[in-house]
Structure formats: C-alpha cells, structure tokens
A = this chain, B = another copy of it.
Amino acid sequence: MTKSAAANIRPIHEHGANVLYQHGTLAQLVPGLLEGTTTIGELLEHGDTGIGTGEGLDGELIILDGVAYKIGQSGLAEVLPDDFTVPFASVHHAAFQYQCERADIGLEDLNRKIVEANGRANTFFAVIVHGTFSFIKTRAVIKQQAPYPTLEEVADQQAMFLGHDVKGTMLGYFSPLMFNGAAVAGFHEHFLADDRSIGGHVLDAVLERGDILSQVFDTLVQHLPVDNPEYRSHDFSNDPIAEAIAKAE
C-alpha cells in the first residue's frame, strides 16, 4: 500500500465516527468466561463512549465523555480507574447526530421509532437518549468469583433499581440480527442519572421528555481475547447462546 493510501484509511478504521470497537463477545459470558481481558485504559483508546461489564460481571459499565462509571449492587455510580479489567465492552468515538425530541413514550416504542428513523436494522448504531425519565428500571449483576458460574446461574443474583423523575442519559448500541452471539442483536442499553444516583442495564423506562441522538457505524472492529487460555480452549458448540441472550438481555 502507498503511504498516501494508508494515511487515507487509518482515520476511517481506527479513529472515525463510523467505527464501533468491541472487545470480547456476549457469547463468552454465557458459559461464564468472565475473566477481564482488557482494561478501561485500553478501551478509552478506542472510544470516549461505551458500555460493558467488569471481570466476574462486576457491575454495569457506562462510558460517557471519556469517563468510565460502574453501577454495582448499591445502584450508585462510581468512576473507574484505568486498570479496571473488562471481559466484554463496546466503545466508540462520539459523533452523534441529533435525531428528534420525544415525550411520553415507553422504552419499546422509543426503540422501535429509533430504528425506523434510522431506516436500517442491518447496521450497527449507537443511540443516546438524554432527558427526564418518569420511570426507569435497571439492574446490576452481582460480582462473581472464579470459578465463574454460567450466565443463567447468575440470572437471579442481580440487584434491581427503580427510579422516578430521573434526569439522565441512556446509551445503547443496536446490533444487526446476524451478529447475535458476538453481540446482543437489537438494543443493549445502559443508563446513568445526571446525579449518579441510579444507573445500570436498562430493563424498562418511560421517557417524559428527551433528546434522541444517533450515530451509525459502517465498521465493527471486533477484538477477541485470543491469548486467554479459557477462551481459547472453550467449546461453545453446546452453549445455549441465543436462549441465554434472549433471557438475560
């Protein structure tokens, strides 16, 4: 490749607004491959915005404006250090486009309208909803210790949080159907209150009024923990991956 061609390509794939970076896969969580194989510091090199989980399903992570937060079993958000380790996360460089304002709408309708507005269910995209939620229901899985249980086994070991009239940010990623397993097909959304009083993996919500912004990616950079012995040697062929995603996410 010529030098000028290389210069042309680099921004598109590594630093562009059209790239979603994912470390690990959702499928790894199903049999309990929960060792942290990247760090917040490394993730922040690939984006200033994102979601994920910590080693051993240690909390629900949300990265906004280059700051990584964890919502653990207290429901309160704490800022994470760069060396916090992570088995699975999605991040990107924020360059959202304003889509519209919406009011008095439940999560399911909201998500359907976001997909319609994008006119595409076969691309990866990110969505930010910032506003006042008249109701929000989130969860945080409780940190597990090695040897790790399966995702199904930890399903009942999670803290649930309810909020009313909460100002905050919901950040979600939409993944196309054909990437179910690698990612969560459809939406995967985390929340953080402006005052950090509540957050986590979004189970349900009613938006009182908020701004919707979205960012479409044409490229997924999928990084795999190829040097992790448990990952490398695991036989995924009998794991109920689609079922576990449908149940847990």
Contact = CB atoms under 8 A, between A and B. Distances in A.
Interface of A: 1, 5-6, 9-10, 13-15, 25, 27, 44-46, 119-124, 176-182, 216-224, 226-227, 231-237, 241
Nearest to A5: B45
A221 B221 contact: yes
Contact of A219 (B44, B176, B179, B222): B222
The majority secondary structure among interface residues of chain A is mixed
7 contacts: A27-B178, A122-B236, A123-B232, A178-B182, A216-B226, A218-B226, A221-B221
Contact of A218 (B216, B223, B234): B223
Given A13-B221, A219-B224, 15 more contacts: A10-B14, A13-B14, A119-B232, A119-B233, A122-B224, A176-B236, A177-B237, A178-B181, A178-B241, A217-B226, A218-B226, A219-B221, A219-B222, A220-B221, A221-B221
A46 B5 CA distance: 10
Contacts of A233: 119-120
A178 B181 CA distance: 6
A201 B234 CA distance: 29
Nearest to A177: B236
Contact of A9 (B45, B121, B220, B236): B45
Contacts of A224: 122-124, 176, 218-220
